[in-house]
C-alpha cells in the first residue's frame, strides 16, 4: 500500500504499490471480487463506463494467478490421418527449480530434441552413397591415366566424371536438408510445432482478445496452395493456436463482449465448458477447413467487459455461465470525496507519470488541480470522477506542455493550460458553435422577449459531455382543428425529449385552467442540428409556451435547465456543471437549475463571480425567476401555488 500523503506532496514522493491490483483506484468492491475470483478460478463480467479500469482489473487478475502450472502445447503429425494432427501438452517448467531458473520451457526442448533427431550426421546419411561415388571416381581417374582410353572416349569419360560428382553432391545435400525439414513436403517432416510457448513467463498469461476475429480467437489452419504431388506443407505445421489456447491457465479478456457475433459467443461458451477446443480452418474456401486437430487445452478464466446497455445483446447462455460459475460486477464511475480518496488520486498521477516515462513529476499544486478536475467531472456533489483514462490524458497533456516549455516540474499553470489542450471533440464543437451563434445572434442574452427562452443542454456522452445553449421559441395560435388543439415541437427531438415536451400541455391545462384544445402550441428548438434528447428542457418549453400564451416577457439574461413533472415539480437533471459553464461562456449572468442539483455545480472561482445560481423546486419558482414582474405574473404564480396544495 502507498504511504499516506501530506498536502502539497509532489508525485516523486508518492510511493506506488508493486502489485497491479493495489494500483486500482476507487473500485474496492471490484477488487475484492477479482481477488476472490482469482483464488477460486471464477469467470467475471465487468460492467461500467469506458475508462474506469476494467482492463487493468483483468490484468491484475492474471498477476494473481499461479504461473507454475503453465503448459506448452505442441502439435504433431498424425501418421494415420494427416488431417487430424495430434496434440500434446507439457508443463513449461516441470519443477520449481526450473521455473526459478527460467530459460527455455519444456515445449522448446521437445522441438529441439525432435529437430536434432532428424539431423542425421553427414557420415551416416552418406554411408552408402559416398563410398560408391568415391570408388567410381577413383576407377575413372585411373582409367584416364592408364592410357587405355584415348581421344574422344577421354572427353566422354571426363563428362561422366563431372556428372557423377554433381549428382553425388546434390544427393547428399537433398538427403540432409529433407531430414532437417528444409524442403516442405519432401522427405521426413515429423518435427512438431509449438503453438503455445510460455517460456520465460513469470506470471499467468493475460490475453486481450477484444475485437478479435474467429481465426485469432479460436485458432486456425493456414491454407496450403500446394496440396498435391507431395510438395505441400504437412497439416500439423500449418496449425496456429488461438487466444483461447494461449490463455490456458491464465486470463482471456474480451471488452465490448456484446459486439461479438452470437456464433463466437456460443463457441466461447463451449470452450469454457469443455476446457479443450480443437483447431480447424476458419475459412470454408481454404484447404485448412479439411484439418481438425485433437482437442487443445484451453482452461482459461474469462473476464468479459462492456457497458450497461450491452447486457441485452449478450448470448443468454454465456451470461448464465458467468453468473453460475463466477461474478457480475457493476463498476463505479465516481467515489466519495474523502481525504483517503484524494490521496489515491495523487497515487494515480504518480502511476501515470511512471507509466508514460516521458513527462516530469507534478508538484503539489498540479496534483491538487487534477483532483479538483476529478471533482468537477464527477457531476455530483461530494464525489470524485473515476473515469481515470480521461484524467490520464489531462496528466499527459500537462506534462507535454511542461516539456515543451523546458520545465522540470509540472505546476498548476500547466494543468490549467492542458484543460483547453485536452478538450473533447464535443467541447471543441460547442466552443465553435457558441462563437457562430453569437455572431449571428441566434440567442439573446440581454433584455426581455415574449415566447423566447435560453435553455441548456449537453452535447456528447456522460463522460465527454459539454454544455451548450439551447434557444427555444414558442408561438400559440388558435387551433387549426375545431375538435382539438395540437402540440407541434420541431428541432430534431428524440423520443424522450418529445414525450417530455408533450407533458407540458398537462401543466398548462391542470395548473393554469387553460383549455389547450383551443390552441395550437408550436415549439421550436433553434438550430439543433445535433438533435435533442432527454427531458431537461421541460421547464424551458413550459415557460416559453406560458410566455407566448399570456404575452409575458422572459428575461433573456437567464438560462435554465430542469425536468418538469406533470404535477409542476422541478426534478433533477444531469450535466449541470457543464450547462452552467456554457451559460457563463455565452455571457449569461443567471442560471436556473433544480434545487436538488445545487450541490452538483462545481465551478472555478472566476466562473462563480460571473454567474448567479437560482434554485427552483416548482414551476412557480421558474415563473418568479424568469418572467418580468407584473400583476398578471403574480396572479399566475398565486394560482399555481394554490392548485398544488
* C-beta neighbour count of 618 within 10 angstroms: 21
Cell numbers at 404, concatenated: 515543451
- Residues sharing a CB contact under 8 Å with residue 318, sequence separation 6 or more, in sequence order: 257, 265, 266, 268, 269, 304
- Residues sharing a CB contact under 8 Å with residue 180, sequence separation 6 or more, in sequence order: 115, 118, 119
Instruction: Give CA–CA dist 18/570, Å, rounded.
Output: 49
Half-sphere exposure of 41 (CA within 13 A, CB side): 10
Mind giving me the DSSP string for 351-364? HHHHHH-SSPEE-H
Is 536 designated active site?
A: yes
Instruction: Give CA–CA dist 238/222, Å, rounded.
Output: 5
Mind giving me the DSSP string for 558-624? EEE--EE-TTSBEEP-S-HHHHHHHHHHTT--EEEEEGGGGGG----HHHHHH-EEEEESBHHHHHH
Cell numbers at 36, concatenated: 476472490
Is 638 designated active site?
A: no
How many helices (H) and strands (E) are present in the chain, helices listed first? 23, 27
End-to-end CA distance of the chain: 57
Question: Could you give the C-alpha distances from 631 to 628, 634, 635, in angstroms and in order?
Answer: 10, 5, 6
Could you give the strand order of the β-sheet that contains 452-459, starting from the edge strand earlier in sequence? Answer: 487-490, 519-525, 466-478, 452-459, 558-560, 590-594, 612-616
Instruction: Give CA–CA dist 303/45, Å, rounded.
Output: 6
Cell numbers at 167, concatenated: 549428382
Active-site pick, 536, 540, 578, 618: 536
SS3 of 260-304: the string is: CCHHHHHHHHHHHHHCEECCECCCCCCHHHHCECCCEECCCEEEE
- Going 400 to 402 to 405 to 408, the CA torsion angle's sign is negative
Active-site pick, 193, 246, 375, 579: 579
User: What dihedral angle (degrees, nearest 10) is formed by the CA atoms of 17, 18, 20, 26?
Assistant: -10
Q: Are 628 and 448 in contact, with CB atoms under 8 Å apart?
A: yes
Instruction: Give CA–CA dist 348/51, Å, rounded.
Output: 13
- Active site members: 536, 579
Amino acid at each position: 500500500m502507498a504511504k499516506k500523503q501530506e498536502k502539497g506532496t509532489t508525485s516523486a514522493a508518492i510511493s506506488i504499490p508493486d502489485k497491479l491490483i493495489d494500483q486500482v483506484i476507487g473500485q474496492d468492491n471490484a477488487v475484492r471480487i477479482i481477488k476472490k475470483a482469482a483464488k477460486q478460478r471464477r469467470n467475471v463480467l465487468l460492467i461500467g463506463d469506458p475508462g474506469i479500469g476494467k482492463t487493468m482489473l483483468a490484468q491484475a487478475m492474471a498477476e494473481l494467478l499461479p504461473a507454475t502450472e503453465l503448459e506448452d502445447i505442441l502439435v504433431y503429425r498424425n501418421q494415420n490421418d494427416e488431417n487430424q494432427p495430434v496434440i500434446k501438452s507439457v508443463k513449461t517448467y516441470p519443477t520449481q527449480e526450473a521455473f526459478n531458473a527460467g530459460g527455455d520451457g519444456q515445449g522448446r526442448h521437445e522441438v529441439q530434441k525432435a529437430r536434432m533427431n532428424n539431423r542425421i550426421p553427414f557420415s551416416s546419411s552418406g554411408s552408402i552413397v559416398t563410398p560408391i561415388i568415391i570408388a567410381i571416381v577413383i576407377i575413372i581417374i585411373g582409367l584416364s591415366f592408364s592410357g587405355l582410353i584415348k581421344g574422344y572416349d577421354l572427353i566422354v569419360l571426363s563428362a561422366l566424371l563431372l556428372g557423377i560428382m554433381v549428382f553425388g553432391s546434390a544427393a547428399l545435400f537433398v538427403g540432409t536438408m529433407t531430414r532437417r525439414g528444409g524442403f516442405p513436403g519432401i522427405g521426413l517432416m515429423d518435427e512438431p510445432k509449438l503453438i503455445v510457448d510460455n517460456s520465460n513467463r513469470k506470471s499467468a498469461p493475460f490475453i486481450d482478445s477484444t475485437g478479435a476475429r474467429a481465426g485469432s480467437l479460436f485458432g486456425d489452419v493456414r491454407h496450403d496452395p500446394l496440396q498435391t504431388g507431395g510438395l505441400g506443407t504437412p497439416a500439423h505445421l500449418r496449425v496456429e493456436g488461438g487466444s483461447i489456447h494461449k490463455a490456458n491457465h491464465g486470463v482471456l479478456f474480451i471488452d465490448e463482449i456484446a459486439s461479438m457475433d452470437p456464433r463466437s459467443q456460443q463457441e466461447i461458451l463451449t470452450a469454457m465448458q469443455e476446457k479443450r477446443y480443437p483447431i480447424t480452418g476458419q475459412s470454408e474456401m481454404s484447404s485448412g477447413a479439411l484439418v481438425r486437430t485433437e482437442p487443445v487445452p484451453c482452461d482459461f478464466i474469462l473476464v468479459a467487459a462492456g457497458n450497461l446497455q450491452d447486457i441485452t445483446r449478450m448470448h443468454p447462455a454465456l451470461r448464465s455461465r458467468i453468473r453460475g460459475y463466477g461474478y457480475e460486477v457493476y463498476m463505479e464511475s465516481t467515489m466519495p470525496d474523502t481525504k483517503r480518496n484524494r490521496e489515491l488520486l495523487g497515487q494515480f498521477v504518480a502511476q501515470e507519470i511512471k507509466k508514460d516515462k516521458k513527462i516530469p513529476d507534478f508538484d503539489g499544486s498540479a496534483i491538487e488541480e487534477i483532483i479538483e478536475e476529478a471533482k468537477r467531472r464527477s457531476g455530483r456533489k461530494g464525489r470524485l470522477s473515476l473515469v481515470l483514462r480521461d484524467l490520464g490524458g489531462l496528466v499527459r497533456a500537462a506534462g507535454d506542455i511542461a516539456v515543451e516549455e523546458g520545465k522540470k516540474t509540472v505546476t498548476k499553470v500547466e494543468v490549467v493550460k492542458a484543460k483547453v489542450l485536452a478538450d473533447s471533440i464535443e467541447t471543441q464543437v460547442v466552443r465553435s458553435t457558441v462563437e457562430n451563434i453569437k455572431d449571428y445572434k441566434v440567442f439573446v442574452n440581454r433584455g426581455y422577449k415574449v415566447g423566447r427562452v435560453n435553455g441548456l443542454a449537453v452535447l456528447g456522452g456522460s463522460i465527454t459531455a459539454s454544455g451548450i445553449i439551447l434557444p427555444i421559441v414558442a408561438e400559440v395560435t388558435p387551433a387549426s382543428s375545431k375538435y382539438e388543439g395540437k402540440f407541434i415541437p420541431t428541432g430534431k427531438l428524440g423520443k424522450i425529449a418529445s414525450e417530455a415536451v408533450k407533458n407540458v400541455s398537462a401543466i398548462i391545462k391542470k395548473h393554469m385552467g387553460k383549455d389547450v384544445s383551443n390552441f395550437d402550441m408550436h415549439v421550436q428548438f433553434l438550430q439543433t442540428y445535433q438533435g435533442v434528447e432527454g427531458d431537461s428542457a421541460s421547464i424551458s418549453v413550459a415557460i416559453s409556451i406560458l410566455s407566448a400564451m399570456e404575452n409575458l416577457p422572459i428575461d433573456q439574461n437567464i438560462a435554465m435547465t430542469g425536468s418538469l413533472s406533470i404535477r409542476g415539480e422541478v426534478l433533477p437533471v444531469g450535466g449541470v456543471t457543464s450547462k452552467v459553464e456554457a451559460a457563463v461562456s455565452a455571457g449569461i449572468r443567471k442560471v436556473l437549475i433544480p434545487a436538488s442539483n445545487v450541490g452538483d455545480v462545481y465551478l472555478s472561482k472566476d466562473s462563480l463571480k460571473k454567474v448567479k445560481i437560482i434554485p427552483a423546486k416548482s414551476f412557480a419558482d421558474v415563473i418568479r425567476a424568469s418572467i418580468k414582474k407584473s400583476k398578471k405574473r403574480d396572479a399566475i404564480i398565486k394560482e399555481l401555488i394554490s392548485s398544488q396544495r
